[in-house]
Amino acid sequence: MTLDIITAPSLAPLRHGFFSRMGGASSGVFAGLNCGFGSSDQSDIVQINRNRVAAAMGVVPVALVGVHQVHSATVVTVDGSPRDASQADGLVTATPGVALSVLTADCQPILFADSDTGVIGACHAGWKGALHGIIENTVTAMERLGARRASIAAVIGPTISQRAYEVGPEFRDAVLEADEQAARYFVQGTGDRLQFDLPAYGLSRLRRAGVGQAEWTRHCTYADPARFFSYRRSVHAKDPDYGRLIAAITL
């Protein structure tokens, strides 16, 4: 099966993609393109999947660079050396031949590009990371490499939509304590439950950061099990584990 790669015109002409679960070698609950070594999937199968992604990105496997994601606001600058051991949630580079990648399974994968200056970025933005500044820190790190905010295009890939993201009042209180402007991204659900609009919140942070273009591909990870892995869906189904989607971009 061929890989299923979602792209965005605003990131062209740079090679990039939000990869769905289709076209991989994994089986069981990981069936498809599971790219997460942090899962309990067989590591050699995960490597086969990642090799397929690297080939699609036009880089050698070692140049498909990621980080050990910890829901932080930390961003690393990649100069060509593997960074998978670094604890961070964002990466930036101006080095050709390197593909920056992030893994998600409901959180926001965001790819950034200033094609005029040749600077790219990627970040994993769950609600914690977005709340504490991973998006803005990625943009700032790109600026340090010569990017201009007004020239940066940023695209949020497949993520959990508001309809599927039910949270409790303690979640809302934690978010609003750190960012009062986030109140508009909650709507009332059943009882004391609320629905949080993570991609709309991500877009608001991108626009506040001053990027030139910001968009969401409008794919919900929870709602499409044939195409996407979803942590929350796996919890509801009582699955023992879940696969990780990958998003990548290269100069």
With a CB cutoff of 8 Å and minimum separation 6, the contacts of 174 are: none
The DSSP line for 123-155 is EEE-HHHHHHTHHHHHHHHHHHTT--GGG-EEE
Confidence band (pLDDT; 50, 70, 90) for 84?
low
Whether the CB-CB separation of 10 and 249 falls below 8 Å is answered with no
With a CB cutoff of 8 Å and minimum separation 6, the contacts of 38 are: 103, 244
Q: Indicate whether 83 pLDDT > 70.
A: no
pLDDT at position 186, please? 98
Q: Indicate whether 145 pLDDT > 70.
A: yes
Q: Indicate whether 15 pLDDT > 70.
A: yes
Summarize pLDDT for 159-182 with one digit per residue, the tens. Answer: 999 999 999 999 999 999 999 999
Confidence band (pLDDT; 50, 70, 90) for 86?
confident
Summarize pLDDT for 218-249 with one digit per residue, the tens. Answer: 999 999 999 999 999 999 999 999 999 999 99
Confidence band (pLDDT; 50, 70, 90) for 85?
low
Question: Cα–Cα distance between 88 and 106 in angstroms, integer?
Answer: 18
pLDDT at position 182, please? 95
Ordered by where they begin, the domains of the chain are: 5-160+212-250 (3.60.140.10)
Across the range 143-171, mean pLDDT stands at 98
Across the range 194-218, mean pLDDT stands at 98
Question: Cα–Cα distance between 221 and 161 in angstroms, integer?
Answer: 8
Q: Indicate whether 132 pLDDT > 70.
A: yes
pTM listed for this prediction: 0.97
Percent of the chain with pLDDT over 70: 97
Across the range 93-117, mean pLDDT stands at 97
For residue 79, which of 134, 141, 155, 151 has the smallest C-alpha distance? 141
pLDDT at position 193, please? 97
Look over the chain and give the mean of its residue pLDDT values, rounded to a whole number.
Answer: 96
Summarize pLDDT for 208-218 with one digit per residue, the tens. Answer: 999 999 999 99
Q: Indicate whether 113 pLDDT > 70.
A: yes
Q: Indicate whether 80 pLDDT > 90.
A: no
Summarize pLDDT for 22-76 with one digit per residue, the tens. Answer: 999 999 999 999 999 999 999 999 999 999 999 999 999 999 999 999 999 999 9
3-state SS class at 170: helix
